[in-house]
Structure 1
C-alpha cells in the first residue's frame, strides 16, 4: 500500500477553489478504488496551502490511470485540470510506502 500526497500552494485567496477541485477529483478516486482520502488546509505555515492525500494498492496502476486522465480530456476533465492550473502557484507530489 502507498500513500500519495499532493501539496498545492494556491494563489492568494484561491485555496477554496483548489479544495473544490480536489472534492470533484475525490469522486473519481472513489471509482478507482483509492482509499482514505483526506483534504487538509493550512493552519500554520505558508498561507493558502492545500494538501490532499489518498492510498493506493499499486503504483503502476496508479500512474497508468493518471497518465490516461490527461490524454484527450473531455470538457469536464479539462475544466478540472484548469481549476488546478489557474488557481495554484505551485505544487508537488509525495509518495510513501505505508508500513503500519
Structure 2
C-alpha cells in the first residue's frame, strides 16, 4: 500500500486534492485498488494524503518513472500543480498483511 502525503501551502489543500482526483483514470487503468484521498482533521493543517494499493512495487515504480520522461501536457500540469501548491511531501510504502 502506498501513501503520498503532501503539506499544502496554507489554503491550497483543495488544489492538491483536485490534482489527485485527476489521477482516477490512470489509477484504474493501472489496476490500483482501494484508492482514497484524505485531508487533515487533526494535526498539521493543509495535509492531503492519497492512498492506494497495488500488486507490484516494480509495476508502480516503472509507471511513476514513465510519468517524468517527456510528460504530456496534462501530466506536466499535474506536476506543476503539486510543485507550486505543496510545501513538502513524502511517500509511505506498506506491506498489506490483512
Aligned pairs for 1:14-93 (under 5 A) are 14-93=12-91
Question: What's the RMSD between the two structures over aligned residues?
Answer: 0.6
Structure 2 unaligned blocks of 5 or more? none
Deviation at 1:26, TM superposition (A): 2.2
Aligned-pair distance for 1:31?
1.1
Unmatched 5+ stretches in structure 1: none
| Distance of 1:29 and 1:82 partners within structure 2 | 19
How many residue pairs end up in the alignment? 98
Output the CA distance in 2 between the equivalents of 1:27 and 1:19.
15
